[in-house]
Amino acid sequence: MVKIKAFAAKIFASIIYNKTQNWAKQPVKTQHEVFNNLIASAKNTQFGKDHHFTEIQSYRDFIKNVPVRDYEDLKPYVERVVNGESDILWPGKPLYFAKTSGTTSGAKYIPLTKESMPFHIEAARNAILLYIHETGNADFVAGKMIFLQGSPLLEVKHGINFGRLSGIVAHFVPNYLQKNRMPSWETNCIEDWETKVNAVVDETINEDMSVISGIPSWVQMYFEKLKEKSNKPVGELFKNFNLFIYGGVNYEPYRAKFENLIGRKVDSIELFPASEGFFAYQDSQTEKGMLLLLKAGIFYEFIKSEEFFNENPKSYTIGEVELNVNYVLIISTNAGLWRYNIGDTVQFTSLKPYRVIVSGRIKHYISAFGEHVIAKEVEEALQEAMQATSVRVNEFTVAPQITPETGLPYHEWLIEFENAPDNLADFTLKIDDAMRKQNSYYDDLIVGKVLRKLVITSVEPNGFNAYMKSIGKLGGQNKIPRLSNDRKIADFFNKDKI
């Protein structure tokens, strides 16, 4: 049975690879078709009427008629759909609303339609199939699989289901995977994260897990509990575990810790999913970046981060983007989001095909002195310092210290070490040097004595979990911001020193 499943998976993987190549080799044409389909489909909706979709003949018309929006700007339309009205942002009513945690807006409700939902499922499936096609590894399809996710319990209002995206997706697991999938429905429905992880450990510790998926920070907690309970490395406990699938945060800062917990290296696949759409997945184990999904009901625009807060920033379509430029990702989708700013920034690592990395959040940066440090820079600086030492890190975040008690201002790095450096000053210098090489503005501020070199504050074990628990965001799809332009998180860890 194992060989039959693996053989069938390889055949299917070859089919999906060829289909992917067809659209990936015609990026501009593919996006043009998506654009035209979106406009035609929504011309009779309330949003389409308000923005004169019937008069839109070109992309130029589109940007003239439709401004870039964030959730707050789109909220009046969303609230009408939430209250049960039809044909507002997209024909009919959505099948689901994914409830997410907003920063300024409280809870956000993101629509998922009968047209958009299949792409969420297909993208996750295709990422695995392209891995199979490239590597030839398919035996894992017969093993047990786990995805650490939110509760699949849904609430129904006005004929629309409301829930967390990961919980909604749980309803679409194909039948042929259901008996392989863990944990049980009952365990998945547990809301308290710590209780849930303990239950997942109890259910899986004696199983043959081959694929494990989730946000790295929360999978790490699962692995730690497995190792604590079994007194074995995860890779010895699950001898056939060879594939880790993740998204939400950069895996690199966690990789050394994971390999220590597992006891060996395993292959990994990076995904770029969100409630607003499934945007990209890793299609190669050798090339950097994730394949941008150009034929998934999403029309993409890109605005340079450095220009985003200008009065009329220029937006670029897929044929106009450049390598290694930081862009704010703007989307229009078959779920009824129009020129919508999801808040993520990306950089292209390849233009043939179009591959991206997530470089940060447009609102998560440090620019207290004009340095505009982004998540990609702090993650790569830490990674460089870790590779030069035996240091492993569980979690970290960075904040500016504008008014220190003595001396010049600085960037404070709050780090929860798995094993701390023997020489903290040397480790600090390695990170600071890497930051200065990456960010010329930061370097200028150090040279000009506006800032002093960064300062590391050690966080106690499980300190970041305690912080997330204190704000009601422990587990699930929640994650620690890599950096912030204020000291809300930093003050939590420094409160005993104040």
Q: Where are the domains of the chain?
A: 375-497
The CA–CA distances, whole Å, from 385 to 143, 279, 395, 415 equal: 37, 31, 15, 13
Of 151, 82, 154, 69, whose CA–CA distance to 111 is shortest?
Answer: 82
Q: Residue 104: its pLDDT value, please? A: 43
User: Alpha-carbon distance 147 to 368, whole Å?
Assistant: 38
Angstrom distance (rounded) from CA 174 to CA 179:
10
CA 176 remoteness from chain centre: 27
Identity at 479, one-letter amino acid code: K
* CB-CB contact of 111 with 89 (8 Å): yes
Contact yes or no for 319/259 (Cβ under 8 A) = no
CATH value of 375-497 in 3.30.300, 3.30.460, 1.10.8, 1.10.3470: 3.30.300
Strand order in the sheet with 455-458: 392-401, 410-419, 455-458
Torsion of CA 51, 53, 56, 61, to 10 degrees: 20
The pair of structure tokens assigned to 366 is: 């440090």
Q: How far apart are CA 378 and CA 435, in angstroms?
A: 7
Looking at residue 496, its pLDDT comes to: 59
pLDDT beneath 50, residues of the chain: 103-105, 498
Whether 411 contacts 399, CB under 8 Å: yes
* Cα–Cα nearest to 110, from 91, 124, 96, 89: 96
Cα dist. 420→154, 171, 428, 455, 457 in Å? 43, 42, 11, 15, 11
Residue with tokens 């996006």: 31
User: What are the respective helix, strand and coil percentages of the chain, to the nearest 5?
Assistant: 40, 25, 35
- Tokens for 40? 């035609």
- Counting every residue written for the chain, the total comes to 498
What is the tens place of the pLDDT at every residue in 30-71? 999 999 999 999 999 999 999 999 999 999 999 999 999 999
Q: Which two tokens stand for residue 477?
A: 């799809």
φ, ψ at 453 (rounded to 5°): -60, 155
Structure tokens at 47: 């949003």
Let me know: does 189 contact 363? Beta carbons within 8 Å: no
Element (H, E) at 271: strand 267-274
pTM of this prediction?
Answer: 0.82
For position 158, what pLDDT does the model report? 92
Rounded distance between C-alpha atoms, residue 80 and residue 95, angstroms:
15
Q: Give the other-Cβ count within 10 Å of 74's Cβ.
A: 20
401-408 contact pairs (CB < 8 A, 24+)? 401/455, 401/487, 401/490, 402/368, 407/452, 408/449, 408/450, 408/451, 408/452
Question: What does 322-384 look like in DSSP terms, one character per residue?
Answer: -BT--EEEEEEETTS--SEEEEEEEEEEEETTEEEEEEEETTB-B-TTS--B-HHHHHHHHHH
pLDDT 10s digits, 414-423? 999 999 999 9
pLDDT for res 426:
96
- DSSP state, residue 404: -
Compute how many other C-beta atoms are within 10 angstroms of the C-beta atom of residue 306: 11
